């Protein structure tokens, strides 16, 4: 089965081919004889009741500085000219991202969009996770300084982060004295119109923040991400490092609760974050990462699992 695959993502020139999950997925597709096109979300158009993308055919190879060779742009009718559309651009999960889901939803049924755009739109990573609050640390979502002060008083130390942020950006720890809380809320309220997420600080984060990856509702692997020196954030994008890990009993319980719902929603490739072996903090459905490190530690081939799942659905 040779598939026509359009990949909606950020510019290829700037990716780190040693760790980029989308690049690994593209390599896996190419190894199976699938044809690839690349385009950014700004290249989407709706015309004549069809959804189009100005896309460029691309071949990829694991050669730094020469990892992607792009052809001339073509106007693809995403419903008729492709078999699979990957939505893999990085957040922020803003109106541009949401609009892309609305457009791609119009081709779902003619072609397979991964992850399902309606499900992505309805599962913001720090909002949908509230459905699983029984697994989460104490959490508050607010713009109110009074509510934030009460939450800090109840939990001693907290972290404050944007509700629709990504990659560990703009995550702050506030100590017991709350000296900077009012100034921080002022900045957050001026920067974002939506409320913000506050969570009890988990000292266990010093021992790592585990990324667990699902493919079609099944766990395919995990890594433990350790914070860099002087950091509370363990995201690889902000200097964290990865180590091999296994799941705890509590993490297996979380995965058992999540897996069937991910599959039912058409969320084929998902990453969740767990701290301290038991505290679920995020469900990443927009552009999850981590599979390159997982495969390196475990000798697995997650892109192959992903393409097996896609090909199975198309059959």
Q: Which residues are catalytic, by number?
A: 126, 161, 211, 225, 233, 273, 282, 284
Is 50 in a helix, a strand, or coil? strand
Q: Which helix H or strand E contains 194, and what residues bound it?
A: none
Residue whose C-alpha is closest to residue 290's, from 230, 218, 220 = 220
Task: Give Cα 156 distance to the centre of its chain.
Answer: 30
Helix (H, G, I), strand (E, B) or coil at 100: helix
Yes or no: say if 26 and 12 are a contact pair by the CB < 8 Å rule: no
Give the CA angle between residues 114, 282, 265 to the nearest 5°: 35
Which residue blocks in the chain are alpha helix, DSSP H?
21-31, 95-105, 117-121, 145-155, 181-191, 249-265, 291-298, 302-314
Q: What is the largest CA-CA distance in the chain?
A: 61
Measured between alpha carbons, how far is 270 from 286 in angstroms, rounded to an integer? Answer: 8
Buried b (16+ CB within 10 A) or exposed e, 28-44: bbbeeebbbbbbbbebb
226: three-class secondary structure by DSSP: strand
Angle of CA points 85, 96, 164, to nearest 5°: 100
What is each CA distance from 315 to 112, 128, 166, 249, in whole angstroms?
11, 30, 34, 35
Between CA 50 and CA 83 the distance in angstroms is 15
Identify the H or E element spanning 220.
strand 218-226
């Amino acid at each position: 089965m040779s598939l026509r695959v359009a990949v909606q993502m950020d510019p290829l020139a700037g990716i780190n081919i040693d760790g980029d999950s989308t690049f690994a997925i593209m390599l896996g597709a190419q190894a199976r004889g699938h044809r690839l096109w690349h385009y950014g979300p700004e290249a989407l158009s709706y015309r004549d009741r069809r959804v189009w993308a100005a896309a460029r055919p691309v071949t990829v190879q694991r050669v730094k500085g020469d990892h992607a060779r792009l052809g001339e742009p073509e106007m693809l009718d995403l419903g008729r000219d492709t078999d699979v559309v990957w939505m893999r651009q990085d957040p922020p999960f803003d109106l541009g991202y949401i609009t892309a889901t609305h457009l791609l939803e119009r081709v779902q049924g003619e072609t397979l969009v991964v992850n399902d755009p309606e499900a992505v739109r309805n599962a913001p990573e720090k909002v949908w996770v509230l459905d699983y609050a029984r697994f989460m640390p104490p959490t508050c979502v607010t713009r109110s300084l009074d509510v934030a002060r009460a939450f800090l008083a109840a939990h001693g130390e907290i972290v404050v982060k944007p509700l629709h942020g990504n990659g560990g950006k703009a995550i702050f720890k506030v100590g017991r004295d709350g000296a900077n809380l009012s100034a921080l809320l002022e900045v957050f309220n001026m920067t974002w119109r939506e409320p913000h997420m506050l969570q009890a600080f988990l000292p266990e984060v010093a021992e790592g923040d585990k990324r667990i990856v699902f493919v079609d509702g099944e766990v395919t692997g995990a890594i433990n991400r350790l914070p860099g020196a002087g950091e509370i954030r363990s995201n690889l994008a902000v200097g964290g490092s990865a180590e091999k890990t296994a799941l705890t009993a509590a993490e297996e319980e979380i995965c058992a609760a999540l897996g069937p719902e991910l599959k039912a929603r058409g969320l084929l490739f998902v990453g969740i974050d767990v701290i301290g072996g038991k505290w679920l903090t995020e469900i990443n459905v927009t552009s999850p990462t981590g599979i390159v490190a997982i495969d390196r530690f475990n000798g697995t081939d997650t892109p192959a699992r992903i393409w097996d799942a896609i090909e199975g659905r198309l059959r």
